[in-house]
Chain A
């Protein structure tokens, strides 16, 4: 079974530039999450999708971050414009069944450095 695919693996940009991350979840997984993991901290949920609908985006900085999940499969997360404090690892995770018995599968993340 193929895992959660993310690209790119690393990205270095200057502040005020734009950047996009891509995630391909495990086939058949309806739920998709984007997390931000700042160095030395646990992951912080940015947005949760159920199929192509947003379940929770309460912690997404909507003035600069946007995410979409067209056709309920692949997802992209965009930052425009980037700030220094956006430097972090961006993790994508997916699950087949949302709820009590949910098991998350994570990708290897994209490490973003904003200079």
Chain B
């Protein structure tokens, strides 16, 4: 069975600085998708970024980028120029591309932005 691990329960960063959130996963599949979701205090999960495993190029969305290391089964999220609005829980998630499209979630990392 697939698993997703986020080893950092909490991270803090100074406003305008860069922070990296870690995520590792375990799977025997070669084709899958990885996601980072943001959950602010409003509780609504918001998709931040998505990576297809077959793509070597790391996904980017404005200030958010990932470092996808397929062999190491690592999928970290880098947030550049951190803003106060980035403060939230961040969840890493995995989904098979072949069958059973359910998301497998990590336990989350709480990101604190220091003004």
Contact = CB atoms under 8 A, between A and B. Distances in A.
Interface of A: 3, 40-45, 48, 56, 89, 91, 93, 98-100, 102-104, 106-109, 111
**Chain B interface residue bracket vs A:** 10 to 19
Given A41-B107, A100-B33, A100-B97, A111 B102 contact: no
A42 B102 contact: no
A106 B102 contact: no
Interface of B is mostly: loop
Contact of B43 (A45, A103, A104, A109): A109
Interface of B: 4, 33, 42-47, 91, 93, 97, 101-103, 105-108
Contacts of A104: 45, 47, 103
Contacts of A103: 47
A93 B107 CA distance: 19
